[in-house]
């Protein structure tokens, strides 16, 4: 199956959602709430989720969706809900054909709340399920750093389509990896379909721009590799990752950035390695934090496993219960990186 319709809708839906997230940021209307796990949820999270789910329901009404947010807090806060709905209504693609492909604007506030709440699938190994993170890297978004709008389609637990919208990454695939923020020449859409390779294209305000094939760069001398890691020490063990870099002979400072922008960056050769090692034995990664990036890196010629060498398993539910950590690298060096990961973690 080509998944041509799915990838087109996913790309347009993510692109439209980035219009909203950028507007929210530039208007300083970020307005945060706290979830039960104390992580911040912004107006951008709710608005982007509503826009993307509305587009998915219009095109694929029988598909399930695993979304990060739910609307109960908005129902308890009508003024915030109205503020978000106004932003959602304003967030339209300039190209009328592209906008109509997504089903046009959300009609009213109740429809927006219903769309947000349609992301309650429990996931699993059967059928077509979309995994959505409307603003991955919320803290990065809040401080003007890297963030991503992330969408992936799983069929019977296997990721078939992945899209990342990264408004603050440079369009130029050859630009060196950096945690710097956007400006002119910034904003990129990464995409992959299983078996069809990975691409990047500039984010636009209308129809999709032309895509270019991307691939990971080969690493001849691993001591010269650049590796990325999360900004937040709560998400990833910086100490273990530094020890691994030292054992590999890597002396370059790591690049710390939020979100699945790290997957996109290494997929196009701007960086080489991405390590996300567990900080707690009981921590379970969320599927929406990895599904799109995992496919994009693998389709760009990379290898993605957990810290034990197992492929990431998206078929179990809303989390990667069977996996601990993430090790992403070009195929030629992944085995060596994984050996060192096991050595460092085994010595603890």
Separation of CA 19 from chain center: 16
Q: How far apart are CA 252 and CA 231, in angstroms?
A: 16
* Distance in Å from the first CA to the final CA of the chain: 45
Catalytic residues: 45, 138
List all residues 6 or more positions away from 148 whose beta carbon is below 8 Å from its beta carbon. 133, 135, 136, 137, 164, 165, 166, 259, 260, 261, 264
User: Shortest CA distance to 56 belongs to which of 122, 131, 108?
Assistant: 131
Sign of CA dihedral 150, 36, 235, 338: negative
Tell me what percent of the chain is helix, strand and coil, each rounded to the nearest 5: 35, 20, 40
Tokens of 294: 């995992």
Token pair 């401080």: residue: 143
Where would I find the H helices in the chain? 4-26, 43-59, 72-75, 78-90, 96-101, 109-117, 138-143, 238-248, 261-267, 291-299, 331-346
Tokens of 340: 């060192």
Tokens of 263: 């997957």
């Amino acid at each position: 199956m080509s998944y041509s319709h799915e990838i087109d809708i996913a790309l347009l839906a993510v692109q439209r959602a980035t219009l909203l997230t950028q507007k929210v940021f530039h208007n300083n209307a970020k307005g945060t709430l706290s979830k039960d796990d104390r992580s911040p949820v912004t107006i951008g999270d709710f608005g982007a989720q509503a826009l993307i789910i509305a587009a998915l329901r219009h095109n694929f009404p029988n598909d399930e969706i695993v979304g990060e947010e739910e609307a109960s807090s908005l129902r308890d806060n009508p003024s915030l809900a109205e503020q978000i709905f106004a932003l959602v209504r304003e967030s339209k693609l300039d190209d009328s054909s592209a906008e109509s492909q997504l089903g046009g604007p959300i009609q009213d506030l109740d429809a927006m709340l219903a769309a947000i709440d349609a992301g309650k699938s429990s996931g699993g190994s059967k059928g077509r399920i979309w995994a959505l993170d409307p603003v991955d890297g919320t803290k990065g978004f809040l401080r003007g750093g890297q963030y991503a709008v992330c969408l992936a389609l799983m069929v019977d637990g296997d990721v078939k389509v992945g899209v990342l919208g990264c408004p603050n990454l440079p369009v130029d695939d050859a630009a060196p990896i950096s945690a710097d923020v956007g400006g002119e020449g910034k904003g990129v859409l990464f995409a992959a379909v299983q078996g069809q390779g990975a691409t990047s294209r500039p984010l636009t305000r209308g129809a999709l721009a032309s895509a270019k094939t991307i691939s990971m760069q080969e690493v001849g001398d691993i001591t010269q590799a650049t590796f990325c890691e999360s900004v937040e020490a709560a998400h990833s063990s910086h100490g273990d990752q530094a020890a691994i870099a030292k054992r590999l002979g890597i002396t370059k400072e790591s690049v710390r950035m939020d979100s699945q922008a790290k997957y996109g960056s290494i997929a196009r050769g701007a960086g080489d390695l991405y390590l996300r090692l567990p900080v707690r034995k009981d921590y379970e990664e969320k599927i929406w934090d990895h599904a799109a990036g995992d496919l994009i890196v693998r389709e760009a010629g990379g290898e993605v496993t957990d810290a034990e060498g197992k492929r990431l398993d998206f078929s179990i539910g809303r989390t990667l219960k069977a996996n601990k950590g993430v090790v992403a690298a070009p195929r030629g060096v992944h085995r060596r990186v994984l050996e060192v990961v096991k050595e460092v973690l085994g010595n603890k």
